[in-house]
Structure 1
Amino acid sequence: MAASSPSSWCTLKQSCVALLALACCLTTCARGAVDALYVLGDSQADVGNNNYLPASLLKANYPHNGVDYPGGKPTGRFSNGYNFVDLLGYKEVKAACCGLGDNNAMFLCSPASVYCDNRTSYMFWDVVHPTQATVEKLMKIAFDGSAPLVSPKNIKQLTES
C-alpha cells in the first residue's frame, strides 16, 4: 500500500472540489439559474455558523436568516442551506469511499479497506482516485464544456471538425 501525506490529500481534494465548483457555477450561471454567488469563509463544503464562538457578538441565528426554510426558523447558517457541493450531488467530500486511516484517505484502496455503501455519493474513491461519478462530471465538462473551462475546443468540437 502506498501512503500519502495528509497535506497532499488536502491539496488534491481542494483542487478537485474547486474545479467541480467552478464548472458547476459557470454552467449554472450561464443558464441564468443563479443571480449571484456569495462566498463567506474559506470552506468549500461547509458554510458553517458562528454560534459556538463565545466572544462573537454577531450571530447568524436571528431573523431573517433562514427565512426561506419551512416555517422561517433561523438556523444559524451563513447560507440558505445550499452550496456548490449540494448542487454537485455529493453527500461526502471530506472522506474517501474506500481506504484506511483518517477519512479513509491515508492509504490506497485494498481488500483490508473500509468501503462506503454508495460510491456515487462520494467525490473520491481512495486517497488519489476520484469516483466514477466525479470522472463522469469532469468528462461531461471536457466533452460539452465551453471557455474558460475547455479551450480552445471541447472534445465534441474536435470530433466534428
Structure 2
Amino acid sequence: MDAGNNAIAAASFAIVVLVAAAASSLAAAVPAVYVLGDSLADVGNNNHLLTLLKADFPHNGIDYPGGKATGRFSNGKNFPDFLAENLGLATSPPYLAISSSSSANYVNGVNFASGGAGVFNSTNKDQCISFDKQIEYYSKVQASLVQSLGEAQAASHLAKSLFAITIGSNDIIGYVRSSAAAKATNPMEQFVDALIQSLTGQLQRLYDLGARRVLFLGTGPVGCCPSLRELSADRGCSGEANDASARYNAAAASLLRGMAERRAGLRYAVFDSSAALLRYIERPAAYGFAEARAACCGLGDMNAKIGCTPVSFYCANRTGYVFWDFYHPTEATARMLTAVAFDGSPPLVFPVNIRQLAAM
C-alpha cells in the first residue's frame, strides 16, 4: 500500500473512531429512550393486539435486517431505530413484547407507540393503544423502576432519558375524512384547540412521572400522503389537512415552550416534520428521490387505494420513494428526517436539536 493509500486509510479509521466516540458519549448522556406515539414510531406493539392496524406481514420489512416484517409500518427501519442509532443505543423494545416477562428490563428504554393512536381516545378506538393508555403503561414502568432502582436513582435515570413523542396525525386524518356536517359543528380551530387541551394534560402527566427531556415530533404534511392525495381529482395535497397539521404543530410548540418556562428541569426539542418532509415532496430530485406522490407499496391509483399487503405491488427502487405505503415514509425518508432532527437547526428543529438536547 502506498503512502497516499495509507493516509486515506488512517483518515478513514480516525473518522470511524470519532463517530464511535461521539455515539458513546451521547449514550452516556442519554441512558435510555422512551417512545410514545403512533405508527410512525411503532416497532411491534400492534403485533400483540387484535386489530386490523398491523404491519407484521410482507412486504413490510423487506429491507429490514433479515428481510422480515417486524410490525414496523415501513420497508425497513423507522424513526425510533435511527434515533437510537444516532444516540449509540439499541432500539427500545415494544412494551407489549416484554411486559409479561417477570424479568422485563425497563432501564434500557421502552417503546409504547401503537399504529393508529391519536391524541384523542376516540381515534381508532379499540384498534390501538391510545395515547392515554400508553401513558398508563409508562406509569407502570416508572413504578417498576422506582421499585428496582430506588426513588432517587429512578428519578435521575428518567431525567437523563429521552422521551420521544409523535402523535396527532391520525386525529387530523380522521377529522379531514369526517362529514361536512360534522365539521360544521366542529370547525378546524375548535378541533385543534381540543387536541391541544388534551395534549396539555397528557404531557403534564408525563412530566409528573419523571419525563424531563422531551422530543416532540409534530405531524407531517398529512395532506400530501398518497391516501389523501388520491381523494382529489388532481391528486394534489389536501390543503385542509396540511393547514390542520400546521396549526397543531405551532400550538404544540407553544404549549411546550410555556411548560418549559413553568416546569422545573423540563427541556425540549420540537421537530417540524411537516416543513422538513415538504422539502422532499416539493423538490424530490434535490434530495435524491424519484417519486414523491405515489406510494411504493399498495394497490390502485398511486398505490393508494389499498395499503401494503402480501398481494400488493411494490417498487424496486425503494430508496427513490418518499412514501412506503399510503400513509408512511420509506426507510430512506425516515433516515433523512432523523438526521435533520438530530443535527438540524431552526426553523426545522427548535429551540435545540436532538444532539444539543442530549447534551443539556
TM category (shorter chain) comes to 0.5 to 0.7
Bigger proportion of residues as helix: 2
Distance 2:238 2:294 in 1: 14
Distance 1:104 1:110 in 2: 11
Unpaired stretches in structure 2, ≥5 consecutive residues: 1-51, 54-226, 243-272
Partner of 1:7: 231
* Structure 2 counterpart of 1:7, one-letter code: L
Distance 1:137 1:7 in 2: 28
Partner of 1:151: 350
Q: TM-score, normalised by structure 2?
A: 0.25
* Structure 2 counterpart of 1:19, one-letter code: A
Q: TM-score, normalised by structure 1?
A: 0.53
- Give CA deviations for 1:13-63 in whole Å, capped at 9, x if unaligned: x967853354x7xxxxxxxxxxxxxxxxxxx65xxxxxxxxxxxxxxxxxx
Alignment of 1:43-122 (within 5 A): 45=282, 84-122=283-321
Structure 1 counterpart SS, 2:231: helix
Distance 2:356 2:303 in 1: 39
* Structure 1 counterpart of 2:325, one-letter code: D
Partner of 1:19: 276
Partner of 2:215: none
Structure 2 counterpart SS, 1:94: strand
Distance 1:111 1:143 in 2: 34
Is the alpha carbon distance of 1:115 and 1:85 closer, same or farther for their aligned partners in structure 2, counting shifts above 3 Å?
same
The size of the alignment, in residue pairs, is 101
Residue 107 of structure 1 deviates from its aligned partner by 1.6
CA contact (8 A) 1:21 1:85 kept: no
* Structure 1 counterpart of 2:300, one-letter code: G
CA contact (8 A) 2:275 2:348 kept: no
Partner of 2:25: none
List structure 1 runs of 4+ shifted beyond 4 angstroms.
14-18
Structure 2 counterpart SS, 1:112: coil
2:330 is equivalent to residue 142 of structure 1: no
Residue 106 of structure 1 deviates from its aligned partner by 1.6
Structure 1 counterpart SS, 2:292: strand
Distance 2:302 2:294 in 1: 4
Distance 2:292 2:347 in 1: 25
Residue 130 of structure 1 deviates from its aligned partner by 0.5
Distance 2:284 2:274 in 1: 8
Structure 1 counterpart SS, 2:335: helix
* Structure 1 counterpart of 2:332, one-letter code: A
* Structure 1 counterpart of 2:231, one-letter code: S
Distance 2:231 2:351 in 1: 33
CA contact (8 A) 2:298 2:306 kept: yes
Structure 2 counterpart SS, 1:95: strand
Partner of 1:160: 359
Residue 145 of structure 1 deviates from its aligned partner by 0.7
Unpaired stretches in structure 1, ≥5 consecutive residues: 25-43, 46-83
Distance 1:88 1:138 in 2: 11
CA contact (8 A) 1:99 1:126 kept: yes
Is the alpha carbon distance of 1:111 and 1:119 closer, same or farther for their aligned partners in structure 2, counting shifts above 3 Å?
same
* Structure 2 counterpart of 1:149, one-letter code: L
Is the alpha carbon distance of 1:18 and 1:7 closer, same or farther for their aligned partners in structure 2, counting shifts above 3 Å?
farther
